[in-house]
Structure 1
Amino acid sequence: MLDATPGLLAGGPLVQVDGLKMHFPIYSGILRRHTGDVKAVDGVSFSINAGETLGLVGESGCGKSTVGRALLRLYEPTAGRVVIDGEDVASLSPEDLRKKRPAMQMVFQDPQASLNPRMTLSRIISEPLDEHTDWAEAKKLARVHELMDAVGLNRRFDNRFPHEFSGGQRQRIGIARALALNPRFIVCDEPIAALDVSIQAQVVNLLEDLQEKLGLTYLFISHDLSMVRHIADRVAVMYLGKIAELSPRDALYSRPLHPYAEALLSAVNEPDPALAANRRRIILTGDVPSPANPPKGCNFCTRCPKVMDICRTVKPDLTEVEPQRFVACHLYPKTQAAGSTGASEATERNQQGVSL
């Protein structure tokens, strides 16, 4: 029987990220000299409460997926701390990291590419059990069937191969595999991007049901702002490797503070005709700068419709300008802020019992 992870429903901080950087070196010339870095993630900080879903949104190439992979140490972070359930994952030895793996899992974007085409469904789902337990085959098969029931797959399909399933069913297999070891934290890396629109809502509803039953904590990465609005408790908006705004979901969607978040949300379809009639679409000009050569000041200054002189020379800090609302923008001076955010300060707010 699937059980809720102990201690997760209390709502304390489970994931704390402080100053995370993920830079990829650039080598050029015959001698392969190091000539620069692609700053895919450049100083990201946030925290996620146990049982909470944090949505991470932004346009393609902003560093969303890199954040998710760095959190689980599928990439080795260049700098920063990633604390999951009290342990700094970024500093764990290979042996200790392997012991930590069951507590943190990932659901990948492309279910077809993330499943071994030569393995049956039962072998795919039981693979984590092979690696991390010494269970007998009968016990592993029972666990596989339990997980299949949990994600809505017929047990009779346990000997089928990935190509025999639809896209939505393959993603359910990926979710079942991620749940095999009772993880505390799951990174959902655009889990619905490769699915038909008619299937996307089913997968999101499944993730919500599993979260409610098992007390799971999600980092939900997506460029689908409408779906993030449905599943997330808070939303972080990324641009060019940095977080531009971090706010509770309803506050962000009703009144975005950062100019980039405002432009991004202006493109979301509004189902209410009255609200849609009053909405002004914000069209950004220019191209996104290269992460290998970002602007000297604010990363968004080259496209911002509200740019000021200071924006071109000074990078803004992610600052709390309203309760639980953090913005990296010079439109909000530090003098009116309640304080800057980091993993430690986010933890303090969570411990004070702030509810979303």
Structure 2
Amino acid sequence: MSEHRPVTAQKPLVEVNGLKMYFPIHAGVLRRHVGDVKAVDDVSFTIYEGETLGLVGESGCGKSTCGRAVLRLYDPTAGSIRIDGHEIGTLSQSQLRPKRPLMQMVFQDPQASLNSRMSVASIISEPLDEHTKMSREEKLARVYELMDAVGLNRDFANRYPHEFSGGQRQRIGIARALALNPKFIVCDEPIAALDVSIQAQVVNLLEDLQEKLGLTYLFISHDLSMVRHICDRVAVMYLGRIVELASRDALYEAPLHPYTEALLSAVPEADPDATEGKQRIILKGDVPSPANPPKGCNFCTRCPKVMEICKTVKPELKEHKPGHFAACHLL
């Protein structure tokens, strides 16, 4: 288990404020703008240097979109994104280019994110071709160094992605992300497509690399037991908004938001004694459409503790205990 680091003394590396990512909906013959899919709707968080912030929520809640918008793979609709003190939310793609080495991404599906026509060596050295003036020998030395770092055999440098297993492909993706010595990496469900036996290896690798290289992670996942293992703090997302944000231990031991309670009640426990007296909360109904979210709290249509105010007033994300934020009228 990674030791819990006090985050107050550290320097913030990533500061996201009021981030919105809306996708327009066009309809009719004239393709008129009739509404928006509010994939990310006013999200704010800070990630400190050397920390792992987990972003969890069910499929379709906007967590991957949020991760991509933070790295500016999408142009955000509104909001501020500061990485290492630089505002990148408003930069054009050409202005962003020199900042790219600072921030990288590990994608969910290693098969889809690797070019099947390129050898492992050329996949890993691609960022070096784009952003550095290294000689061919220096690049090859760096590729070998990265392969060693992620536990891949150097002899496989000229093989192609289809010759590797899922876990090995994900290691190739991680090596590529590390090529330019980034400070910040968004891990977008990096283990979701992998076999359970391989998942732990990849997570341990990410932890080792973080320790050696001082990396900072935004770890997006819906696997709450894995998030508990790797993350220092956890943000819970529902329908485009963060409903709770707290240190890992505080969130798992005493969640404040009804949605977090329901999520955690679904996590299987290895110890049968620990499940005694623990009630499984089954949520009724479906997640509303992000194109037409409820007027008040996004969770009001499924919340077992809903009150009248929840249906009309959106709750603010407020600090209820030191470092423990939640957006709920019950508090």
Question: After superposition, what is the alpha-carbon deviation per residue over 1:32-80, rounded to whole angstroms, capped at 9, x for unaligned?
Answer: 0000000000000000000000000000000000000000100000000
Identify which range, 92-101 or 287-296, moves more after superposition.
92-101
Instruction: Indicate the SS of the match to 2:173.
Output: helix
Instruction: Indicate the SS of the match to 1:284.
Output: coil
Instruction: Indicate the SS of the match to 2:64.
Output: helix
Match for residue 309 of structure 2?
310
Instruction: Indicate the SS of the match to 1:90.
Output: coil
Rounded to whole Å, the distance in 1 between the matches of 2:102 and 2:177 is: 10
1:127-142, aligned counterparts within 5 Å?
127-142=126-141
Match for residue 187 of structure 1?
186
- Which runs of no fewer than 5 residues in structure 2 stay unpaired? 1-8
Aligned residue type for 2:61: C
After TM superposition, give the deviation of residue 134 of structure 1 in Å. Answer: 1.1
Match for residue 72 of structure 2?
73
Match for residue 260 of structure 1?
259
After TM superposition, give the deviation of residue 93 of structure 1 in Å. Answer: 2.9
Match for residue 14 of structure 1?
13
Match for residue 319 of structure 2?
320
Q: When the two structures are superposed, what TM-score results if normalisation uses the length of structure 2? A: 0.97
Match for residue 235 of structure 1?
234
Identity of aligned residues (%): 77
Question: After superposition, what is the alpha-carbon deviation per residue over 1:323-345, rounded to whole angstroms, capped at 9, x for unaligned?
Answer: 0000000011xxxxxxxxxxxxx
Instruction: Indicate the SS of the match to 2:302.
Output: coil
Rounded to whole Å, the distance in 1 between the matches of 2:188 and 2:121 is: 23
1:188-227, aligned counterparts within 5 Å?
188-227=187-226
After TM superposition, give the deviation of residue 236 of structure 1 in Å. Answer: 0.3
After TM superposition, give the deviation of residue 96 of structure 1 in Å. Answer: 2.3
- 1:27 matched to 2:13: no
Instruction: Indicate the SS of the match to 2:276.
Output: helix
Aligned residue type for 1:100: K
Aligned residue type for 2:284: T
After TM superposition, give the deviation of residue 82 of structure 1 in Å. Answer: 0.5
Match for residue 90 of structure 2?
91
Instruction: Indicate the SS of the match to 1:21.
Output: strand
After TM superposition, give the deviation of residue 91 of structure 1 in Å. Answer: 1.3
Match for residue 338 of structure 1?
none
After TM superposition, give the deviation of residue 274 of structure 1 in Å. Answer: 1.5
Dislocated runs of 4+, deviation >3 Å: none
Aligned residue type for 2:164: F
Rounded to whole Å, the distance in 2 between the matches of 1:121 and 1:127 is: 10
Rounded to whole Å, the distance in 2 between the matches of 1:275 and 1:125 is: 44
Rounded to whole Å, the distance in 1 between the matches of 2:67 and 2:155 is: 34
Instruction: Indicate the SS of the match to 2:124.
Output: helix
Rounded to whole Å, the distance in 2 between the matches of 1:19 and 1:87 is: 16
Rounded to whole Å, the distance in 1 between the matches of 2:224 and 2:88 is: 29
Rounded to whole Å, the distance in 2 between the matches of 1:226 and 1:27 is: 40
Match for residue 111 of structure 1?
110
1:271-350, aligned counterparts within 5 Å?
271-332=270-331
Question: After superposition, what is the alpha-carbon deviation per residue over 1:16-46, rounded to whole angstroms, capped at 9, x for unaligned?
Answer: 0000000000000111000000000000000
1:32-43, aligned counterparts within 5 Å?
32-43=31-42
Q: When the two structures are superposed, what TM-score results if normalisation uses the length of structure 1? A: 0.90
Aligned residue type for 1:201: A
Rounded to whole Å, the distance in 2 between the matches of 1:285 and 1:93 is: 44
Rounded to whole Å, the distance in 2 between the matches of 1:308 and 1:228 is: 31
Instruction: Indicate the SS of the match to 1:303.
Output: coil
Rounded to whole Å, the distance in 2 between the matches of 1:256 and 1:270 is: 17
Identify which range, 141-150 or 90-99, moves more after superposition.
90-99
Aligned residue type for 1:22: M
After TM superposition, give the deviation of residue 94 of structure 1 in Å. Answer: 2.6
